[in-house]
Structure 1
């Protein structure tokens, strides 16, 4: 919900989903991710945003597409990046998402 590109694409699953406070907070988090990654570019830290997808949790509800284990894949991937892994990106599973 924080991808500007997906919100602007009429073929995207989130096109027209105008949950303004939620979308704005996610977009702000993504910009903060880019800024923090730049500030720490000479350090050993990796700073990335992750989108787990629509997960069957108390927040996601029973109609969500993904089980909790599937939703965790993105967090596990980002938490276990090696020293040569990406920084300053937005990911779902192991794939970058357009800003």
Structure 2
């Protein structure tokens, strides 16, 4: 199981507007999953990790293909897969 500590998720920085927007996104994800319960649609949030992109910079821990693993996992969930969660790789994260 992958364990990500809060200081790793935000590189130890205090960024209240960013973290508040992420919490709102996770809450919306949960609400949409409830609204869409009973349909074939799944709604999950994805934490790709700190990825070496223009935004993540060269010091980021993950290569682009590693950051994409979570999105690929969620896009290929089986019909009985989870909905309403927040994931990194294939592991659910608390929020």
Aligned pairs, number = 90
Q: TM-score, normalised by structure 1?
A: 0.84
Cα deviation code 1:34-90 (max 9, x no counterpart): 000000011110100010000000000000000000000000000011101000001
Tell me by how many angstroms 1:24 deviates: 1.1
| Gap regions ≥5 residues in structure 2 | none
Instruction: Give 1:31's aligned residue.
Output: 27
1:13 alignment partner in structure 2: 8
Q: Aligned to 2:85, which of 62, 82, 89?
A: 89
Deviation at 1:14, TM superposition (A): 4.4
| Structure 1 unaligned regions, length at least 5 | 1-5
> Hey, which bits of structure 1, 4+ residues long, moved more than 4 A?
none
Instruction: Give the RMSD, CA atoms, in angstroms.
Output: 1.5
TM-score (norm 2): 0.88
* 1:17 Cα deviation after fit: 3.0
